[in-house]
């Protein structure tokens, strides 16, 4: 990997999910918040279709890394590549477009829009990317059976259990058939049984659709669902054996 440019490596995965190459590559990312360093040279490659768990102590830079990869934050130094395209130097508009069209997001609970029904919450990414209401709602409803949510389509988030709400959030993350699903502590507020159910559903859906998943978690039982784990410590990424990730 060291001898090839990030563009060449990332470019080998341009066809997206299922390709043998890396769909995502970060090189030496540096990012600070004021005086607080969050990333200090974070290098990571993710293969298309891989389910990757990012672990590490609190405050080590996991969420910052996830946000840099997803184009939500831009690093001060280093490079982010997605499917052969250098992302960190692209315009805000281009990064928003990728987030809307190619990426899905599932974050810790509490992120459903309370005024909307469960099915409207799931349809939201499609509505925002211009799909008409009818087809968007139909696509949203398909996920309810898959995720064991039948009958809850019209409920608002306040009328759902934590586990149900998190499955609705998962459906929302997957409804646009994203190439990459970013999940930051997706089971953070759930008891272990609900957390394992969400992970069973997440990994099954991702494998069925060839979705690449980047999952931040503190929980080793949740990380065990991934194909591979990396550790973030002091703003750098390593594997369990200490090698570069
Ligand atoms: N918006 C922000 N403003 C100021 N400091 C921030 C901000 N976001 C992160 N930091 C700091 O950057 C460092 C890395 O934070 P980050 O959230 O990436 O860590 P983390 O590993 O995801 O932590 P946790 O596991 O607790 O969620 C921490 O010192 C944190 O306090």
Residue 243 within any structural domain of the chain:
no
Residue 244 within any structural domain of the chain:
no
Q: What are the structure tokens assigned to 58, written together?
A: 């609190």
Q: Is the pLDDT of residue 121 over 90?
A: yes
Residue 118 within any structural domain of the chain:
yes
Q: Are 141 and 134 in contact (CB under 8 A)?
A: no
Residue 1 within any structural domain of the chain:
no
CATH of the domain at 179: 3.40.50.300
| Ligand 1 atom 3: residue of nearest CA | 33
Residue 125 within any structural domain of the chain:
yes
Predicted pLDDT of residue 14:
38
Q: Is the pLDDT of residue 6 over 60?
A: no
Give Cβ neighbours of residue 195 (< 8 Å, ≥ 6 apart): 187, 219, 221, 222
Average pLDDT over residues 89-116: 89
Q: Are 174 and 209 in contact (CB under 8 A)?
A: yes
Choice between 101 and 43, residue whose per-residue pLDDT is larger: 43
- Kindly tell me the sign of the dihedral angle through the C-alpha atoms of 26, 28, 100, 180: positive
How many whole angstroms separate alpha carbon 186 and alpha carbon 237? 21
How many whole angstroms separate alpha carbon 149 and alpha carbon 152? 6
Ligand 1 atom closest to the Cα of residue 60 is: 21
**Model confidence over 151-197: pLDDT tens digits?**
999 999 899 998 899 899 999 999 999 999 999 998 887 888 888 88
Determine the structural domain holding residue 54 and report its residue range.
6-238
How many whole angstroms separate alpha carbon 51 and alpha carbon 25? 15
Using a 6 Å CB cutoff, which residues line ligand 1?
Answer: 33, 36, 38, 56, 58-64
Predicted pLDDT of residue 111:
83
Predicted pLDDT of residue 190:
81
Q: How many domains does the chain have?
A: 1
Identify which of 59, 62, 189, 236 to mutate to test ligand 1's pocket (most ligand atoms within 8 A of the CB): 59
Confidence of residue 241 (pLDDT cuts 50, 70, 90): low
Predicted pLDDT of residue 189:
76
Average pLDDT over residues 213-232: 94
Confidence of residue 7 (pLDDT cuts 50, 70, 90): very low
Ligand 1 centre to CA of 38 (Å) is 6
Residue 54 within any structural domain of the chain:
yes
Residue 64 within any structural domain of the chain:
yes
Residue 218 within any structural domain of the chain:
yes
| Ligand 1 atom 5: residue of nearest CA | 33
Q: Are 211 and 205 in contact (CB under 8 A)?
A: yes
């Amino acid at each position: 990997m060291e001898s090839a440019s990030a563009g060449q490596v990332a470019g080998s995965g341009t066809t997206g999910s299922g390709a043998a190459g890396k769909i995502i590559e970060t090189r030496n990312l540096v990012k600070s918040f004021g005086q607080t360093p969050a990333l200090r040279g974070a290098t990571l490659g993710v293969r298309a279709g891989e389910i990757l768990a990012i672990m590490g102590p609190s405050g080590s830079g996991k969420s910052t890394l996830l946000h840099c990869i997803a184009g939500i934050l831009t690093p001060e130094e280093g490079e982010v590549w997605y499917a052969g395209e250098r992302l960190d130097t692209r315009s805000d508009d281009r990064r928003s477009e990728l987030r809307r069209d190619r990426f899905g997001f599932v974050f810790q609970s509490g992120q459903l829009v309370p005024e909307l029904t469960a099915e409207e919450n799931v349809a939201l990414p499609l509505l925002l990317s211009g799909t008409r209401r009818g087809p968007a709602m139909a696509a949203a409803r398909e996920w309810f059976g898959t995720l064991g949510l039948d009958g809850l389509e019209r409920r608002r988030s306040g009328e759902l259990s934590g586990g149900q709400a998190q499955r609705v959030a998962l459906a929302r993350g997957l409804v646009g058939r994203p190439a990459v699903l970013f999940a930051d502590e997706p089971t953070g507020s759930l008891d272990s049984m609900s957390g394992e159910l969400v992970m069973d559903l997440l990994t099954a859906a991702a494998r069925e659709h060839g979705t690449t998943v980047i999952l931040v978690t503190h929980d080793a039982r949740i990380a065990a669902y991934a194909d591979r784990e990396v550790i973030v410590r002091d703003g750098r990424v390593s594997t369990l054996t200490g090698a570069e990730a």
